[in-house]
């Protein structure tokens, strides 16, 4: 019986020299269970598929010859894909098949390449960092939009207020100009009416004084003068009303004064004359 050391030396020698003779220890990715020693890779026709496929041929751990395809038919791509996961110079080959036969999806166990997995993790980390940056920028963008909307509303409000103020200023300016014109009209009307009233009052007073000195009642001439004065005052009032819309209080007062004087003259005229006393 060979010693354990001898067996170990033969095993190490076989591993070092296996690939030089075209031998590989065939493993499966599921549990990395050994299938046997793959002695060759051959292209042979697969009658079930009607195409030439790559096959692994070798001796199993049970000492029997095995043969299984090193590719699979993918219905999604309608093509054959390799299933040999790894193969190195130490005489080790790894297949993704769980069972020797069958192209069903559950018959395969795939591993990512460690280098690809590290690169994918790095890319995922970079993407996560970029996502955080984008999320932060989106929050800032929303804040800026909120500020923009706020100040836009303020600007619109201030603009509307400014327009209202401009309209009010323009309206008040027009009213001030109109009032200034009315004031000037009222001043001229008041001065004219006052002067005319004074003149009319002087005329009536003179007529009355002359009538009293003569011991007579006022005659038609005095009455006509009073009526003429009242008529002129009425015309003046109508003219002022046409210009300004309202007659100032001073003008009305003078007109009423002249009207009363005229009414008094008319009353005196309507009194019956006293009969002359007989001389004794």
What is the reported pLDDT for 278? 44
Place of tokens 């003078």: 254
Local structure of 216: helix, strand or coil: coil
How many C-beta atoms surround the C-beta of residue 85 within 10 A? 18
- Tens of pLDDT along 126-150? 888 899 999 999 999 999 999 999 9
φ, ψ for residue 49, nearest 5 deg: -105, -20
Residues of the chain below pLDDT 50:
217-218, 220, 244, 276, 278-280
Q: Two tokens at 56?
A: 């692994």
């Amino acid at each position: 019986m060979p010693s354990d050391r001898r067996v170990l030396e033969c095993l190490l020698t076989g591993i070092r020299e296996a690939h030089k003779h075209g031998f590989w220890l065939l493993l499966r990715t599921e549990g990395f269970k050994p299938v046997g020693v793959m002695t060759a890779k051959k292209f042979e026709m697969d009658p079930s598929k009607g195409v030439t496929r790559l096959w692994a041929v070798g001796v199993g751990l049970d000492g029997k010859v095995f043969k299984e395809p090193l590719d699979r038919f993918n219905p999604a791509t309608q093509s054959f894909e390799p299933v040999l996961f790894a193969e190195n110079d130490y005489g080790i080959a790894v297949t993704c098949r769980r069972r020797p036969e069958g192209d069903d999806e559950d018959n395969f166990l795939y591993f990512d390449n460690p280098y690809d997995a590290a690169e994918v993790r790095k890319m995922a980390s970079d993407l996560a960092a970029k996502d955080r940056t984008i999320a932060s920028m989106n929050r800032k963008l929303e804040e800026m939009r909120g500020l923009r909307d706020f100040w836009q509303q303020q600007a619109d409000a201030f603009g509307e207020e400014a327009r209202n103020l401009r309209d009010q200023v323009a309206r008040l300016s027009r009213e001030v100009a109109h009032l200034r014109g009315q004031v000037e009209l009222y001043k001229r009307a008041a001065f004219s009416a006052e002067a005319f009233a004074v003149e009319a009052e002087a005329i009536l007073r003179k007529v009355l004084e002359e009538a009293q000195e003569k011991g007579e009642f006022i005659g038609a001439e005095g009455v006509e003068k009073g009526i003429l004065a009242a008529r002129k005052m009425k015309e003046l009032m109508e003219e002022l009303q046409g210009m300004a819309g309202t007659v100032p209080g001073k003008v009305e007062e003078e007109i009423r004064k002249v009207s009363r004087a005229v009414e008094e003259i008319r009353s005196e005229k309507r009194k019956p004359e006293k009969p002359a006393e007989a001389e004794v």
